[in-house]
Amino acid sequence: MQSIDVVRDGLALVCGGAVGFSLGLIGGGGSVLAVPLLLYVVGMPDPHMAIGTSALAVAANAFANLGPHARAGNVRWGPAAVFAAGGVLGAYAGSSAGKAFDGQRLLLLFALLMLVIAALMQKPRRFVVGGPIHLTAPLVARFAGAGLGTGLLAGFFGIGGGFLIVPALTLICGLATLEAIGSSLLSVGAFGFTTAVNYGISGLIDWTIAVIFIAGGVAGGAVGVASAGRLARNRLALNRVFGAIVISVALYMLAHSTGLIGG
């Protein structure tokens, strides 16, 4: 029994590192990766337990990766805070609704949504914001509204929502790609923590696995942040990396949900 636990915990540590790397590199994809990894690699049998556990781990890793991005000047605190504040309300409402849905249906809908987001990220941005953003009333309404909608979806699917937040910050709020990646981590942490609290109330968190995931994610996140800085020299490359990761995970989830890949 001890050896089985060691293997499981080791796999959780490695998977946590992969999730942290994703968060540090693209500001998202953490929960998208964490839930399948917990289910199919670590071997957690309950999808809802995997969702709750991943939400807590991804939230902690997002906050850990926020520091390096902030020191690199990639976080726009005003817009990020407004976006996160609106999204926390949506995340709680969405996660409450998501717990009532069958896990496999959530994964199928989730994968379809990921493909849409990946396609949107390949389109040119409507506008690029350089330097600090001065929050006017219309901008506050735009950021808070985008956060509310994104938080609702993130909470409903039981994720931190980085793969939704980065496109929202670029396509709706007008941040440059690297700014969106750094700023998104505040919302990823806030949304994930809100979802984790909601799932934790229902006893749907494996605390041991969550701690191991967090430990691996801190190390992986440091590598991801360094890689993001290098890729920033080519913004198109960042979009392509983000899109490739999202599409790959979405296709796997679709194949698994429709029975093309065995459970």
Q: What tokens does 215 get?
A: 């430990």
- Structural domain includes residue 56: yes
* Angle (CA) 13 17 22, round 5°: 150
Residue count (the chain): 263
* Angle (CA) 196 115 17, round 5°: 45
Beta strands in the chain (DSSP E): none
* CB 185, CB 23: distance < 8 Å: yes
- Structural domain includes residue 262: no
- Structural domain includes residue 113: yes
Instruction: State pLDDT tens for residues 70-122.
Output: 888 888 888 889 999 999 999 999 999 988 888 778 778 878 877 877 776 66
DSSP state of 38: I
Q: What percent of the chain has pLDDT over 90?
A: 22
* CB 154, CB 166: distance < 8 Å: no
- Structural domain includes residue 233: yes
Cα 53 to Cα 209: distance, rounded to the nearest angstrom:
7
**Greater model confidence, 203 or 158:** 203
Q: How many domains in the chain? A: 1
- Domain housing 116: 2-257
H-helix segments, 174-234: 177-201, 207-231
Q: What tokens does 231 get?
A: 């890729």
Instruction: State pLDDT tens for residues 179-224.
Output: 888 888 899 899 999 999 999 999 989 999 999 989 998 888 888 8
Whether residue 128 is predicted with pLDDT greater than 50 in this model: the reply is: no
**Greater model confidence, 236 or 103:** 103
Cα 61 to Cα 213: distance, rounded to the nearest angstrom:
9
Instruction: State pLDDT tens for residues 195-207.
Output: 999 999 999 899 9
Cα 141 to Cα 137: distance, rounded to the nearest angstrom:
6
pLDDT at 22: 76
- Structural domain includes residue 263: no
Residue type, 244: A
pLDDT at 236: 64
